[in-house]
Chain A
Amino acid sequence: MTIVEAEKLNQKGLQKVASNERFTFFGLTLPYLIMVTALIVIPVGWLFYLSFIGRDGSFSFENYERMMKSKAYIRIFITTFKISILTTIICAAIGYPLAYFMSQLSRKWANICMIGVLIPFWTSLLVRTYAWLVLLQKKGLLNNMAIEMGLITEPIKIVHNTTGTLIGMVHIMLPFLILPLYANMRSIDKDTLKAASSLGATPTRAFWTVFFPLSLPGLLAGLLIVFVLCLGFYVTPAILGGGRVIMAAMKISSNIELYFSWGAASALGVVLLVVTGIILFIASKLVSMDQLGNR
């Protein structure tokens, strides 16, 4: 056997080991893959199919047609988008300065502030929604304080409407914006700012021409996460909206709980899924997926 032949044999053996290895690693992901397929891909696919089945049991677009013609559905779409866009904008307006502030602090102080962001993040959504209900109601703390300070004479209605829903949703969504944005801002090289200012840029100019563009990927990731989560939101608008703010997820739920109309619920669900999918697709083109997952 020559050396060349021996090497060939060796190579074959190595290839076999490598393919065995690949097989093992793929095998390790199988339980996860099976669960996701059985519990998401198949059920959601089934809903997709149901959305195209009419009342008589044959293939039709009637669920979608009814949705496009119905005023109630159009109002739900408008409400869903309005609340989601407003929540996202308010979160950005509040979250950007806060994330910037934290990124300028020393690690130790930033970590302490981070606890302030993480506590609401891990407190049950229901608890936070309930707390806002207590604070914002007619005899709640906010109204009482405003009356005592003489700002208003009669209690004003700040809950069971759009305002209350927005306050609750911003409170719940803010950490989702701050976490990716803060991670991004931390990774910005501070020497670039030093360079800008040593070249004569004013602090304001250095911020807008150097820091802000570099923070855009983080901001974008945060905005898209918040917007997508808002689109499918259910609990907070259901409680703080008091039946006056009806978002898509609530309609899906009532279609099933009250009317057992799977076709209509599925059609609305498919629209929600498609819109979410398009936004996430755009997001994945703009920001790398790693950054989105890097929480």
Chain B
Amino acid sequence: MSFLNKNVSETQIRLKDRLWLYIFSYIILFLLIVPSLVVIPMSFSASQYLEFPPREWSLRWYENYFFAWKVENGFNDWMQATWTSVKVAVLTIFVATPVGTMAAYGLVNSNSRLSKILFPIFISPMMVPIILVAIGLFYFFVQFKLVGSIFGLVLGHSLVAMPLVLIIVFSALKNYDMNQEKVARSLGATRFRAFREITLPQIKFSIISASLIAFLTSFDEIIISLFVAGGDNSTITRSMFLALRDQIDPTIAAISTILIVISSGLLIIIQLIGNKENKKD
């Protein structure tokens, strides 16, 4: 067992002295990943009750999610909520990404005094307890009849997605040499053209990951949706939360499985984009 005597740190700790740390860390990593995956086998269970492991298998909860029509109104509530979520999340990309990117560009270039004042205000949506933001928006939207509207949801979700876009693009621009734009402009390009043709191609991967994160943030958002969404425009997370609070419907396991697939897929894309950008420099 000579590998146990291998040095594993700068201070000559041998592997056998640190075996406990390895085992502990792998157990924690296991506990971080695996519990969420339990919903996958659950979603294929034939039983109404939450049994694990399931005794019989079926696709009935997926059928219920995709094809169950409510007798009263002829709608599939789950599908309708899913479409609302998709619509809102896509629109959130188109609001949060440009607004956040513009602000990041402005902050990076402006003097430090202004950015010191603005930065805390700009990341305040991450700092103020989200429940407070939600009831504040609810009160505000009631006055403008925006409760239950797609527009209201997009505004609310953009608010929580913008700080993430800002931070990602801001740090990308910090690592970027702005003098390249100056060169372009000294050669006669306008500021906008210099940005579009010199800066944008170099930070485009950061902007793409920022927009994917904006999508995911909106798609997973619950608290604001709980107050601001309503009527025909419930989001999928809102419907799931309300269903979970009342009774345990295994359809939620099927939806959860689909959500895990979507978010892991997006995460992989974001990581790949990150790798590409790192390789470039």
A283 to B: closest C-beta gap in Å: 10
Size of the A side of the interface (Cβ < 8 Å), in residues, is: 93
Chain B residues within 8 Å of A25, by CB: 105-107, 109-110
Give per-residue flags for A273-286: 1 if the beta carbon is below 8 A from chain B beta carbons, else 0. 10010001000100
The contact of B267 among A119, A193, A196, A253, by CB within 8 Å, is: A119
| B 119-148 contacts with A by CB, 8 A | 119-125, 127-133, 135-140
Query: Is B166 among interface residues, defined by CB-CB distance under 8 A?
Result: yes
Query: Is A102 among interface residues, defined by CB-CB distance under 8 A?
Result: yes
How long is the Cα–Cα vector from A163 to B65 in the complex, in angstroms? 32
Are A273 and B102 in touch, CB under 8 angstroms? Answer: no
Are B103 and A269 in touch, CB under 8 angstroms? Answer: no
Q: Check A171/B31 contact, CB under 8 A, given A31-B102, A40-B125.
A: yes
B109 to A: closest C-beta gap in Å: 5
Q: Check A39/B156 contact, CB under 8 A, given A126-B240, A289-B119.
A: yes
Q: How many pairs of A and B residues are in contact by the CB < 8 Å rule?
A: 270
How long is the Cα–Cα vector from A42 to B110 in the complex, in angstroms? 26
B41 to A: closest C-beta gap in Å: 10
Could you jot down 25 A-B contacts, CB within 8 Å? A28-B103, A36-B121, A39-B136, A39-B156, A43-B140, A44-B128, A119-B33, A122-B216, A122-B263, A124-B237, A124-B259, A125-B220, A130-B240, A130-B252, A130-B256, A135-B38, A139-B50, A171-B35, A191-B10, A197-B11, A203-B12, A232-B131, A234-B222, A238-B241, A252-B131
B-side residues, CB < 8 A to A, are 8-13, 17, 21-22, 24-25, 28-29, 31-33, 35-39, 42, 49-53, 99-100, 102-103, 105-107, 109-111, 114, 118-125, 127-133, 135-140, 155-156, 158-159, 162, 166-167, 170-171, 191, 216, 219-220, 222-223, 226-227, 237, 240-241, 244-245, 248, 252-253, 256, 259-260, 263-264, 266-267, 271
